[in-house]
Amino acid sequence: MSAATAQSLDSLRARIRGLERLRPVAWSVGLHPAIDPSLPGNGLAGACLHQIVAGAEDGAATAFAARIAGRLAERFNRPVLWAAAGGEDLYAPGLGLYGLSPQRLLQARASCPADLAWIMEEALKCPDLACVIAELPGLDLVAGRRLQLAAEAGGVTGLALHPFGSRIANAGTTRWRISGRPDGTWRVILDRCRNGLPGEWEIRP
Amino acid sequence: MKRIIHLWLPFFATDRLTRPGAEFEAWRDRPLALSGRAGGAIRVFAANKAARRAGIAPGLAAADSTALYPGLKTIPHRPTETEAALARLAGWCGRWSPWTGPEGTDGIWIDATGCAHLFGGEHAMLAEIAARLEALGLAVRAGMADTPGAAWALSHCADESPSICPEGAVRQWLASFPIAALRLPDEAAEGLRRLGLRRMSDLMALPRAPLAARFGRDVALRLDQVLGRLPEPLSPIPFTEPMEARVAFIEPIGRTEDVAAAIRHLLDEVCERLSKSGLGARRLILSVYRVDGTVLAHDLGTNGPVRDPAHLMRLFAEILDTLDAGFGIEVMRLSIPVADPFTAAQSDVEARSDGASLPLLVDRLTRRLGPGRVFRPSPRPTHLPERAVTRAAPLSPSTGPWPTQRRPIRLLPRPRPVAVEDQDGRPLRLDRMDLVRTEGPERISAEWWRSPETSQRDYWRVEDSAGRRLWLFRTIDSQWFAHGFFG
C-alpha cells in the first residue's frame, strides 16, 4: 500500500469518525471493575445519553440508574434531576442504599409522557446538574439525537430509564438491560455500546 | 400647619354592594342588611339607608329585623372584603393627595396639606371629592381641618357636608360640637354625658390635668389630638412606585426578532430598577397592545426572586414562540406585581454558572408542568411508608435527616393485593412462585390515633425464583399486599 493510499485511507477514516461523532470520551465514571474494561475510556462516558432498559420489573434497572447517578452526584457535588410521569413511584428513602443520597434529588413530575423528553432536554443543558434521569416509555431516533446533543451542550450525563416493553430506538451511547437474579445479583447486559464491546455480567448490587 | 380631610362613608359596607353595576344594585333603595354571627346569635352588622328608615340598625337580631320589615334582603357580612374594598378606595383617593389611608371600617384620611390649590381651593376640592364618591354610589360626609381629630369631628357631627374649618380655628369652630365628636368609646362618652358635659366647650373649659385623672387618658388624648396639642400620625397606604416599563413603537412591529428585542429592552429597564431597590421579580406580566385594539397578557412566575435579564428572557422564550402579533404591536408593557427582597446568597447562585442555571431550569420546568410539579423529596416523621415522603420547594435548603432502614426503591401508590401462601405469617409462595429468600418481619404500626385494624402491618422483603424483589406486608387480618420493589 503506497503512502498516498494510506494517507487517503486515514483521512477517510477521520471523516467517518467525524460523521459518526466517535470522538474520544471526554471523561468517564467507573461502574464496576468487571464492566469498565469493555467501555471506551474505561468507564461510562460522561456528557452523553445512556439507555437503561428494565427486565421483567423496574426495581433493578431503577437501582442501577440510581447507582450511576449517585456516583456522578458525589463526583460533581451537584444535584440529580429525576423526571417521571407517574406509575410506580420512585421512593426516595430507598435510594441511599444504592449510593444516591435523597438530599441530592430533585424530582419533576410530568402529567403526560410527552413532556418527559422536553424536561430531559432542558435539564441536560443545565450545567448545575450532575445527572438527569427520565423514565421514558418510548424514545425515537430524532428525540434521542436531540437529547445526545443537549447532553454534550450542557456537559451533563443523561440516563433514559425505559420500563419493560418500551419502544425504543438505538439513540444512546450505550444501552443496558438490567434484571434481577434469584441469587440476589443483577444480570447486566450491555447490548449496545458505541466504540466499545457488548457484554454480559452478573454483579452484586 | 397641616390640612387633613376626613371622609366618612356611613353606609360603606352596603353602598359598595349596591353601587351602580354591582351585584345588589337593585337593592339600592330597598332595605338591605348585612348579617353575621355575633356571640350566639345572628345579628345585623350593617344596614343601608332604606333599612335604617324601616328601623333596622346594626346590633339588632336578624330575626327581629325580618319581623320589622319582612321584605328585608339579608346577605352575609364579610368584614375582610369590606376592609379590602375600603383600602382600595383609599388608594384610589391618591388622585387628590399621595398621602391617603383607610380609617376604621368606614372612613378615609387624606392629608391634603399643600394640595388644595391644585383643585381650585379647599371648597372646590372637597366638593369634587364628594361628587366623585357619590357618583360611585357611596354616601359621603367630608370634613377638613388642621388635625385628623377635628376633621373627623366635622365629617361626623357638622350640620352640613362638606364642612371646612379654617386654619387655626379648631378651638372656636368645634366648641359647640357634641362630645361624641371626640372619637371616644361609648362608655367614656356616656360617663361624660352623665356628668353634664355635653359640648366640647364644656370639656375645653376644664383644667387638663384633673381631666385625665378623672376621665381616663382616652378623653385627654382625644381632646389634645383634636386641638393639635398632640400630633396624631396617620398611617398612609405605602406609596410604591409601580415596577413597570413600557415601550411604544412608532411603526407597529410584528417580527419575532423585534418583539424579542423589545422584551429584552423592557427586562433590562425593569431589572435595573429591581437591583436598585434590592428586589427580585417573583411574578411578571407582559401586556402586548396590538394594532387591532386587543391586548394579550402573559403571566410568568418564578421560583425565587430573579433580576437577571438573561434568566427572565429565557422564561419568555416560549411566549415568544406562541405570541400572535396579529397586524402588529403598538405598545408593550412589562409590570412586576410581585417582587421579593434579593439576598446575597441568591446572587451567588446566579453568578456561579453562565446563565443556564438551576433556578432558571426550575422556573422553566415549573412554568410548563405547573406548580408543585418540580420538588425535592423531604422526609416526614411518620412510620407509614406511603406517608414518609413529602414534597419540598425545589430550591429549598437541604432536606433530612432521612431514615436509615432498608426501604424499597419504588413504592406502589397504593398497596396491591397479592396471593401469598404463608406458614405462621412467614410467606412461602407468591403468585404460586417459590420465594427463594424472605427477610422479616418488620412490624410497622401507624400513629396510635389511626385504627389498629388497618394500620398494623408486618413487612417482609422477599425474592422469588424469577429474580423479582418485593416488599410485602401482611395486615392484622392476614391479607397480603405488595407495596414496593427493591433493586
Q: Report the length, in residues, of chain A.
A: 205
Cβ of B484 within 8 Å of Cβ of A91? The answer is yes
Q: In chain B, what are the helix, strand and coil shares in percent, each to the nearest 5?
A: 35, 30, 35
d(CA A125, CA A116): 14
**Band of residue B395 on the pLDDT scale cut at 50, 70, 90:** confident
pLDDT for res B454: 61
Cβ of B358 within 8 Å of Cβ of A122? The answer is no
Cβ of B406 within 8 Å of Cβ of A88? The answer is no
Question: Is the peptide bond between A33 and the residue preceding it cis, with omega within 30 degrees of 0?
Answer: no
Only one residue has cell 454534550, namely A152
- Interface contact B394, partner A, CB < 8 A: yes
d(CA B361, CA B395): 11
Q: Is the pLDDT of residue B344 over 70?
A: no
Q: Which of A61, A44, A23 is nearest to A158 (CA)?
A: A44
With H, G, I as helix, E, B as strand and everything else as coil, classify residue A135: strand
**Band of residue B350 on the pLDDT scale cut at 50, 70, 90:** very low
- Interface contact B484, partner A, CB < 8 A: yes
Positive or negative, the CA dihedral A7, A9, A13, A16 is positive
CA distance A158 to chain B (A): 16
Q: Which amino acid is at B443?
A: R
The predicted model scores a pTM of 0.58
With H, G, I as helix, E, B as strand and everything else as coil, classify residue B78: coil
Q: Is the pLDDT of residue B214 over 80?
A: no
With H, G, I as helix, E, B as strand and everything else as coil, classify residue B378: strand
Q: Give me the DSSP letters along B11-76.
A: THHHHHHHSTTSTTGGGTTS-EEEEEEETTEEEEEEE-HHHHHTT--TTSBHHHHHHH-TT-EEEE
- The C-alpha cell at B439 is 427477610
Nearest to B409 among A66, A105, A125 (CB): A66
Q: Is the pLDDT of residue B240 over 90?
A: no
Q: Give me the DSSP letters along B204-241.
A: HHS-HHHHHHHH-HHHHHHHHHHHTSS-----PPP---
pLDDT for res B353: 43
Q: Which of B245, B56, B15 is nearest to B140 (CA)?
A: B15
- Interface contact B401, partner A, CB < 8 A: no
d(CA A100, CA A109): 19
B9-23, B98-112, B214-228: lowest mean pLDDT where? Answer: B214-228
- Interface contact B364, partner A, CB < 8 A: yes
- Average pLDDT for chain B: 84
Question: Is residue B5 classed exposed, middle or buried when 0-12, 13-18 and 19+ CB atoms within 10 A define those classes?
Answer: buried
Average pLDDT of the residues in B144-150? 92
Which residues have C-beta within 8 Å of that of residue B40, sequence separation ≥ 6?
none
Q: Which of A161, A197, A156 is nearest to A36 (CA)?
A: A197
- Where chain A has pLDDT below 70, the residues are 1, 17-26, 87-88
Query: Other C-beta atoms within 10 Å of B200: how many?
Result: 25
With H, G, I as helix, E, B as strand and everything else as coil, classify residue A110: coil
Cβ of A88 within 8 Å of Cβ of B485? The answer is yes
Cβ–Cβ under 8 Å, residues B481 and B459? no
Cβ of B407 within 8 Å of Cβ of A91? The answer is yes
CA distance B312 to chain A (A): 15
d(CA A118, CA B361): 12
Only one residue has cell 425593569, namely B270
The top-scoring range by mean pLDDT among A85-94, A122-131, B211-220, B338-347 is A122-131
Cβ of B377 within 8 Å of Cβ of A55? The answer is no
Q: Is the pLDDT of residue B92 over 70?
A: yes
d(CA A51, CA B330): 49
B204-213, B269-278, B299-308, B337-346: lowest mean pLDDT where? Answer: B337-346
- Interface contact B409, partner A, CB < 8 A: yes
Backbone φ and ψ of B236, nearest 5°: -80, 165
Q: Which of A101, A108, A146 is nearest to A125 (CA)?
A: A146
Closest residue, chain B, to A79 (C-alpha): B358
Q: Residues 232 to 251 of B: which have CB under 8 A from any A CB?
A: none
Cα end-to-end distance, chain B, whole Å: 80
Fill in the DSSP letter of residue B168: T
Average pLDDT of the residues in B98-123? 88
Q: Residues 179 to 198 of A: which have CB under 8 A from any B CB?
A: 179-184, 186-187
Nearest to B486 among A59, A64, A106 (CB): A59
Q: Which amino acid is at A164?
A: F
State what percent of residues in chain B have pLDDT above 90: 18
Cβ of B411 within 8 Å of Cβ of A126? The answer is no
Q: Give me the DSSP letters along B294-330.
A: -EEEEEEEEEEEE--HHHHHHHTHHHHHH---TT-EE
Pair type for strands B374-379 and A105-109 = antiparallel
Which residues have C-beta within 8 Å of that of residue A191, sequence separation ≥ 6?
A175, A176, A177, A198
Q: Is the pLDDT of residue B156 over 80?
A: yes
Q: Report the length, in residues, of chain B.
A: 487
Q: Return the H-helix or E-strand segment holding B368.
A: helix B358-369
Which residues of chain B neighbour A186 with C-beta distances below 8 Å?
487
Cβ–Cβ under 8 Å, residues B100 and B112? no
Cβ–Cβ under 8 Å, residues B253 and B263? no
**Band of residue B238 on the pLDDT scale cut at 50, 70, 90:** low
CB pairs under 8 A between A and B: 163
pLDDT for res B226: 86
Q: Which amino acid is at B347?
A: S
- The C-alpha cell at A154 is 450542557
Q: Is the pLDDT of residue B53 over 50?
A: yes
Cβ of A111 within 8 Å of Cβ of B369? The answer is yes
Cβ of A182 within 8 Å of Cβ of B485? The answer is no
Which residues of chain B neighbour A179 with C-beta distances below 8 Å?
467
Alpha helix locations (H) across chain A? Answer: 3-20, 59-76, 114-124, 141-154
Nearest to B365 among A66, A89, A108 (CB): A108
Average pLDDT of the residues in B223-235? 83
d(CA A179, CA A186): 6
Cβ of B467 within 8 Å of Cβ of A98? The answer is no
pLDDT for res B352: 43
Q: B344-352 and B358-369 helices cross at what angle (nearest 10)?
A: 90
Q: Give me the DSSP letters along B15-26.
A: HHHHSTTSTTGG
- Interface contact B374, partner A, CB < 8 A: yes
pLDDT for res B347: 41
- Interface contact B169, partner A, CB < 8 A: no
Query: Other C-beta atoms within 10 Å of B190: how many?
Result: 11
Cβ of A180 within 8 Å of Cβ of B368? The answer is no
Q: Which residue has the higher pLDDT, B451 or B9?
A: B9
d(CA B105, CA B85): 10
Compute and round to an integer the Cα radius of gyration of chain B: 34
Which residues have C-beta within 8 Å of that of residue B223, sequence separation ≥ 6?
B182, B203, B204, B211
Backbone φ and ψ of B323, nearest 5°: -65, 130
Q: Residues 1 to 30 of A: which have CB under 8 A from any B CB?
A: none
State what percent of residues in chain B have pLDDT above 70: 94
Cβ–Cβ under 8 Å, residues B177 and B226? no
Cβ of A127 within 8 Å of Cβ of B486? The answer is no
Only one residue has cell 406548580, namely B371
d(CA B141, CA B162): 6
Q: Which residue has the higher pLDDT, B160 or A52?
A: A52
Closest residue, chain B, to A62 (C-alpha): B487
Cβ–Cβ under 8 Å, residues B238 and B101? no
Which residues of chain B neighbour A66 with C-beta distances below 8 Å?
409, 487
Q: Residues 89 to 118 of A: which have CB under 8 A from any B CB?
A: 89-98, 101-103, 105-111, 115, 118
Cβ of A59 within 8 Å of Cβ of B469? The answer is yes
